[in-house]
Amino acid sequence: MPHLFGSVVLAGTLLGSGAFAASIDIEIKPGPTTMSAAERALEPDPAAGTEHAEILVMEFERDEDYRLNALYHVHYRIKIHSAEARDWADVEIPHRTNYDQLQRWWGRTILLDGTVLELTEDQLERQRSARVGSTGETVAKAALPGVVPGCVIDYGFTLKLDRAYMPYQEIRLQREAPIHSFRYRWKPTRELGAAYRVTPGVGFELDARRDKDSVLVTAKDVPALVYEPMMPPPDSISASVVFYYYDGSGGLKDYWTLKAKRRAGSERPPEVVRRAVTEIGLDPASPLDDRLRSAYAWLLRRIKNTNRLTMAEVESRALDEDTPDGTNALARGEGSAGEIDRLFADVARALGAEAHLVLATNRTRRLWDQSLLSMNQFSEMVVAVRDRDAAKPEYTFVDPGSGLPYGELPWWVTGASAMMATKDGAKEIFLPPGPASQNVRETRVAVRLGELGEPITASWTVRAKGQIGTDDRTRLHRSAPDERQRLLDTLCGAQSGIEVLRAESPESETSQGEMRVDCEIEFEQRMPEDKLGRFRWDARGVWIDSIPDLRPGKRHHPVVFDYPYVDLMTLDCTAPSGMHPGAVPEPIQLDSPFGRYQRRVSIVDGGFRVERKLAIIVLAVPPSDYDALRGFHDAIARADAEPLDFLGDE
Amino acid sequence: MTMNRQAVAFGLATVLFVVTPSFARLPDWARQIAERAPSLPEGVSPDERHVLIQETNVTAEADGRLRTHRRVAEQFLRVPSAPDATDAVIVDDSSKVITARGWHVPYEGRSERSIGLAVEFSVGNDFLNDSRARVVSLDGVGKGSLVFYEFEVLDSPFSLDLLHVFSGSGAPIARAGFETRVPPGWTVRHAWLRGADVPPTVEGNVMRWELSGIRLPPRATGLTEPAGDTHPTLVVSFTPPDGAAIKTPHHRNWQALGAWFDEISAGRSDATAAIEAAAWTAVEGAGSGRVQRLAAMARFVRDGVRYVAKEIGIGRFQPRPADQVLGQRHGDCKDKAALLRAMLATQGIPAFPILVNASREKSIADAVPAISAFNHVILGVALDPDEAIPDWAGTAVVDAGEIGRLLVVDVTDDRTAPGWLPGYLVGKSALVVSGGRSRFVRLPGEAPDAHRIERDVEGVVEPDGRLHFTRTTRIWGEPASDARGAWRRSTKNWRARSEHALRDEWPGATVQALDVTPETSEGAFVEVVRIAAPLPPGNPPMIVPLAGAAEDLDRVSLGRREVAVVYPHPIKLSFTSRWKGSFPILEPQSRSDEGEGWKVAAEINTEGDLLRASWEARLSRRRFEVAEFEELKRLWTAADRAGRLMAPLEAR
Residue B485: pLDDT above 90? yes
With CA atoms as reference, the chain A residue closest to B510 would be A552
Residue B170: pLDDT above 60? yes
Confidence of residue B589 (pLDDT cuts 50, 70, 90): confident
Set of chain A residues whose Cβ sits within 8 Å of the Cβ of B539: 582-583, 585-586, 642, 645
Over range B580-597, report the average pLDDT. Answer: 84
More confident residue, B116 or B505: B505
Set of chain B residues whose Cβ sits within 8 Å of the Cβ of A525: 637, 640
Nearest to B495 by CA among B536, B532, B528, B535: B528
Confidence of residue A21 (pLDDT cuts 50, 70, 90): low
pLDDT of residue B3: 37
Among the partner residues B118, B508, B555, nearest to A133 by beta-carbon distance: B118
Residue A5: pLDDT above 70? no
Set of chain A residues whose Cβ sits within 8 Å of the Cβ of B535: none
Distant-in-sequence contacts of A273-280, Cβ < 8 A, 24+ apart: A273/A330, A273/A343, A273/A346, A273/A347, A273/A350, A274/A350, A276/A330, A276/A347, A277/A347, A277/A350, A277/A351
Residue A107: pLDDT above 50? yes
Tell me the ipTM for this assembly: 0.90
Residue A426: pLDDT above 90? yes
Gap from A3 CA to chain B (nearest CA, Å): 30
Over range A439-458, report the average pLDDT. Answer: 92
d(CA B561, CA B225): 14
Set of chain A residues whose Cβ sits within 8 Å of the Cβ of B499: 551
pLDDT of residue B650: 57
Using omega within 30 degrees of 0 as the cis cutoff, is the peptide bond preceding B369 cis?
no
- Ramachandran quadrant class, B492 (left: phi over 0; alpha: psi -120 to 50; beta: rest): alpha
pLDDT of residue B547: 81
d(CA A453, CA B301): 54
Confidence of residue A329 (pLDDT cuts 50, 70, 90): confident
Is residue B92 helix, strand or coil?
A: coil
Could you tell me where the DSSP H helices lie in A53-193?
none
Confidence of residue B520 (pLDDT cuts 50, 70, 90): very high
Render pLDDT for A57-73 as a digit per residue (tens, 0 to 9).
999 999 998 877 999 99
Gap from A287 CA to chain B (nearest CA, Å): 46
Q: Do B507 and A494 touch (CB under 8 A)?
A: no
Q: Do A499 and B559 touch (CB under 8 A)?
A: yes
Q: Do B310 and A642 touch (CB under 8 A)?
A: no
Set of chain A residues whose Cβ sits within 8 Å of the Cβ of B122: 127-130
In this structure, are residues B435 and B259 in contact, taking their beta carbons and an 8 Å threshold? yes
Is the torsion defined by CA of B161, B162, B163, B165 positive or negative? negative
Residue A290: count of CB within 10 angstroms of its CB? 11
pLDDT of residue B19: 37
d(CA A118, CA A331): 71
pLDDT averaged over every residue in chain A = 90
CB burial class (10 A; 0-12, 13-18, 19+) of residue A320?
exposed
Residue A323: count of CB within 10 angstroms of its CB? 10
Dihedrals phi, psi of B549, to nearest 5 degrees: -60, -40
Round to the nearest angstrom and report the end-to-end CA distance of chain B. 106
Residue A198: pLDDT above 60? yes
Render pLDDT for B133-163 as a digit per residue (tens, 0 to 9).
999 999 999 999 999 999 999 999 999 999 9
Among the partner residues B120, B492, B500, nearest to A46 by beta-carbon distance: B492
With CA atoms as reference, the chain B residue closest to A644 would be B538
Set of chain B residues whose Cβ sits within 8 Å of the Cβ of A489: 557, 559-560
pLDDT of residue A518: 96
Residue B80: pLDDT above 70? yes
d(CA A448, CA A576): 8
pLDDT of residue B205: 96
pLDDT of residue B1: 36
- How many interface pairs between A and B have CB atoms less than 8 angstroms apart? 172
d(CA B53, CA A336): 39
Q: Do A143 and B539 touch (CB under 8 A)?
A: no
Nearest to B525 by CA among B470, B451, B588: B451
- Kindly give the pairing relationship between strand A304-305 and strand A334-335: parallel
Q: Do A642 and B537 touch (CB under 8 A)?
A: yes
Residue A26: pLDDT above 50? yes
Among the partner residues A129, A143, A643, nearest to B538 by beta-carbon distance: A643
More confident residue, B608 or A561: A561
pLDDT of residue A509: 55
**One-letter identity of residue A14:** L
Over range B347-375, report the average pLDDT. Answer: 94
Set of chain A residues whose Cβ sits within 8 Å of the Cβ of B310: 125, 143
Altogether, the residues listed in chain B come to a count of: 652
With CA atoms as reference, the chain A residue closest to B220 would be A486
Dihedrals phi, psi of A86, to nearest 5 degrees: -65, -25
Render pLDDT for B564-573 as a digit per residue (tens, 0 to 9).
999 999 999 9
Render pLDDT for B407-456 as a digit per residue (tens, 0 to 9).
999 999 999 999 999 999 999 999 999 999 999 999 999 999 999 999 99
CB burial class (10 A; 0-12, 13-18, 19+) of residue A104?
middle
Nearest to A361 by CA among A4, A2, A623: A4
Confidence of residue A22 (pLDDT cuts 50, 70, 90): low
d(CA A317, CA A321): 8
Confidence of residue A3 (pLDDT cuts 50, 70, 90): very low
pLDDT of residue A561: 93
Percent of chain B with pLDDT over 70: 95
d(CA A328, CA A346): 12
Nearest to A168 by CA among A299, A64, A50, A53: A64
Residue B45: count of CB within 10 angstroms of its CB? 18
d(CA A327, CA A343): 12
Confidence of residue A9 (pLDDT cuts 50, 70, 90): low
Percent of chain B with pLDDT over 90: 74
What dihedral do alpha carbons B293, B298, B299, B300 form, nearest 10°? 90
In this structure, are residues A223 and A48 in contact, taking their beta carbons and an 8 Å threshold? yes
Render pLDDT for B180-203 as a digit per residue (tens, 0 to 9).
999 999 999 999 998 878 999 999
- CA B256 to chain centroid, in Å, comes to 26
Q: Do B644 and A89 touch (CB under 8 A)?
A: no
Gap from B538 CA to chain A (nearest CA, Å): 5
With CA atoms as reference, the chain A residue closest to B638 would be A525
More confident residue, B481 or A6: B481
Confidence of residue B22 (pLDDT cuts 50, 70, 90): low
DSSP result, B113-171:
E--S--EEEE-SSSSEE--EEEEEEE-S--TT-EEEEEEEEEE--SSSEEEEE---TTS
Q: Do A145 and B40 touch (CB under 8 A)?
A: no
Nearest to B162 by CA among B70, B71, B29: B70
Nearest to A532 by CA among A471, A578, A464, A590: A578
Residue B646: pLDDT above 60? no
Render pLDDT for A333-369 as a digit per residue (tens, 0 to 9).
899 999 999 999 999 999 999 999 999 999 988 889 8
Q: Do B306 and A83 touch (CB under 8 A)?
A: yes
pLDDT of residue B169: 82
d(CA A84, CA B484): 12
Nearest to B582 by CA among B603, B611, B605: B611
pLDDT averaged over every residue in chain B = 90
Render pLDDT for A504-560 as a digit per residue (tens, 0 to 9).
998 665 556 788 999 999 988 788 777 778 888 989 989 998 888 888 889 999 999
| Burial readout B604-637 (b: 16 or more C-beta within 10 A, e: otherwise) | bbbeeeebebbbbbbbebbebeeebbeebbbbbb
Q: Do B557 and A130 touch (CB under 8 A)?
A: no
User: Angle A271-280/A337-350 helices, nearest 10 degrees?
Assistant: 70
CB burial class (10 A; 0-12, 13-18, 19+) of residue B307?
buried
Confidence of residue A594 (pLDDT cuts 50, 70, 90): very high
Over range B485-503, report the average pLDDT. Answer: 93
Confidence of residue A326 (pLDDT cuts 50, 70, 90): low
- Kindly give the pairing relationship between strand B119-122 and strand B95-105: unpaired
pLDDT of residue A323: 60
Over range B579-599, report the average pLDDT. Answer: 86
What angle (nearest 5°) sits at the alpha carbon of residue A628, between those of residues A623 and A629? Answer: 75
Listed range (A11-15, A46-50, A168-172, A611-615) with the worst mean pLDDT: A11-15
Q: Do B641 and A528 touch (CB under 8 A)?
A: yes
pLDDT of residue B507: 86
Residue B289: count of CB within 10 angstroms of its CB? 15
Set of chain B residues whose Cβ sits within 8 Å of the Cβ of A526: 637, 641
